[in-house]
Amino acid sequence: MAKVRTTVTLDQDVLRWVKVRAARQGKGDSEVIEDSLRRDLGLDLLERLWAKNQMDEDAAMRLAVEAQHRTRPRRRR
């Protein structure tokens, strides 16, 4: 996956703990931050689920639209 450079502003204590964890794990600061974001956003779980997915794109889209319609409130007439 391609990497993109960005700038973030962090609390000093948070950055200090990022650096501590990076040193303990032998990783770079960016890797620790990315790992934390992936875990917090649930991306690792999504990637595992997508890897197991056997549904084709059209079937997935039909299922998503059907679920969306079921959860929308019905219009009152």
Which DSSP string corresponds to 25-75? HT--HHHHHHHHHHHHHTHHHHHHHHHH----HHHHHHHHHHHHHHHSPPP
pLDDT band at 77; cut points 50, 70, 90 = low
pLDDT at 21: 97
pLDDT in tens, 40-70: 988 878 777 777 878 888 988 898 899 998 8
Residue with tokens 């549904």: 55
Neighbouring residues of 15: CB distance < 8 A, sequence distance ≥ 6: 29
